[in-house]
Every structure is written in structure tokens, then in C-alpha cells.
Amino acid sequence: MEIKYINRKTKKIHSESPPAEGLLKFLYDNPFGNTAILPLVKRKLISAFYGRIMDKPSSSEKIEKFVNKLGIDMSESQKNITEFKSFNDFFYRKLKTTARPISKGFVSPGDGRLLAFENIMDLQNFFVKGRGFTLTEFLNDKETAKKHENDSLIILRLAPNDYHRYHFPTDGNVSKTKKIKGSYFSVSPYALAGNFTKVFCENKREYVTLFSKEKGEIILAPVGATMVGSIFESFTPNTNVKKGDEMGYFAFGGSTIVILVDKTKIKIDADLLENTKNKMESYVKMGESIGK
């Protein structure tokens, strides 16, 4: 499976091979892998165990090889390779303040590959198989789901080589977090193509509501995945936050942030919607404008 995405700035199309591509094929396409091995991989204890390994000082030996293999620009990092105490310390590294300028408008909360749907129901025609995706399942809250059923939906997929801290996309007052227990399916396009609903409605996730006078209520939902040890919060609930303030970060693994916005108050940029219609993710960086 060749994953293609477009770089918004250069307009060039790039190809991406997911890490452990062979294993993902086995887990999600092979009947034995899907029924016998996948149920073990998705369990918390596997991801938690791997997370502990990545917290050990000895794991820092993996950093340089990882950086070279994935072409990570370390000139953006506040620390250099020798200063990290573990692989996870490197994985959720902080960047220099100049590395991610904050643009005008509604901005991306993180680095990653983005899909944008002006109407949530458009998702059904993209890659959902099996049972239909519902907000009630995803949010685990009928009242909140009803309030946002006509929203626009944004999915930001973070690959292992991306910056793994995420930030608030606009000013507002942030609620406390609602945590939803779940499994740890991969968020790779391999897994999503098989059944988007299963992955996003069964994975561990949490969400907050960002209240903005001008932009309405915005749902920000980090979603865990295979080999993601933890989702960490950096903010204080029930306080006012500024656009660009750090919201949290992921430990090792690929991860995703789901965003719901009121389409009568925030209009997603046309190129992002068009790329999504063409089955193409758009590569964006934290602080980059994605809507008006």
C-alpha cells in the first residue's frame, strides 16, 4: 500500500511507507494475524511495556539512527541528540520558538498529514467500511454528539518522524478532559482503510472542548495508537488559553488528533477539502493556517 500526501507549500506529491509495513499487512490483511495476533497487539500492556522501554536511558542509543533514517531536522530542536535522557525524551522533544511561527486564522494544532471534511457525513464516502461512524460512539456522549453532528471534521495523523507535541488552534477557554478507555489499534492508513470506525471508536482517546466567542465550541481529541505509551496533558483545565499554547504530547508511536469545528463559524481552507476529495492527505505544520 503506497500512502501519498501532498506538501501544501511545494504542491509536490510524496509517497510514504508506514513503519513495520510488513507487520501491518499481516495484522490487518492476513486472517490469522487479524484473529490471533492483533487482539494481543491492541492491548494496553503491550504498548505500556514498550513505552517503559523507551523511557530507559539505554533507549537513547536508538535516537541517532532514527534521526538519520527518517531525515529529521534537528536544527529545530531545543536539545541536540546527546542531551536527551531517553528515546521518549527525544520523541516528544520541544522545538525552538522560531521553528513553528503561528499564522493568522484557525491553525493546525500539530505537524502531520491532514484530512478535512466539510460535513461529517462526507466521511462515509472516504474509507469507512463495516458499521457507520457515529459521533456518539466516538465521543461516548449523546448530548455532545448531538451538538456537533453538523460540524466539519479534521483528522491530523502524526507519523513517527513528526513533532509530537500539539497546541491549541485558537484562543478560548478550555474544559477539563474527558478520558475514554480503549484499545490500541494502529492509526496507520492500513488499519483505517480496513475499518475507520473500529479504530477511532475503540481506541483509547480523550477530548476537551475549547470555548471561543467568535469561533464557537471546538472539540480537540487526541487518539492513542499501538505503541503509544501515553497521552500527556500540558494545560490547566477551565482556564483561558492562547492560540499556539501547548496542549499536550504523545509518547512513542504514531498518533492522531481529531478536531470538530462549527462550519458556520470556521471555514476550512479549500485546498485541504479538495485534496481530501481526491483521496490525498495534506502535509501541514503546527501553527500553519488551515481555516478562516
Q: Catalytic residues, which ones?
A: 111, 167, 255
The span from the CA of 34 to the CA of 57, in Å, is 34
The torsion defined by the Cα of 218, 282, 257 and 217, in degrees rounded to 10, comes to 0
The span from the CA of 249 to the CA of 91, in Å, is 10
Cβ contacts of residue 11 below 8 Å, gap of 6+?
Answer: none
| Number of C-beta neighbours around residue 264 at 10 A | 10
Q: Could you give the C-alpha distances from 173 to 43, 92, 222, 238, 270, in angstroms and in order?
A: 34, 25, 18, 6, 28
Cβ contacts of residue 17 below 8 Å, gap of 6+?
Answer: 2, 3
Q: Which runs of consecutive H residues, i.e. helices, occur in 30-86? A: 31-32, 38-41, 44-55, 63-70
State whether residue 247 is helix, strand or coil.
strand
Beta strand extents in the chain (DSSP E only): 3-7, 13-16, 106-107, 112-117, 152-158, 165-167, 172-174, 178-180, 205-212, 216-223, 231-233, 239-241, 246-250, 255-261, 281-284, 289-291
The torsion defined by the Cα of 199, 233, 65 and 227, in degrees rounded to 10, comes to -30
Cβ(110)–Cβ(92) under 8 Å?
A: no
The span from the CA of 107 to the CA of 285, in Å, is 9
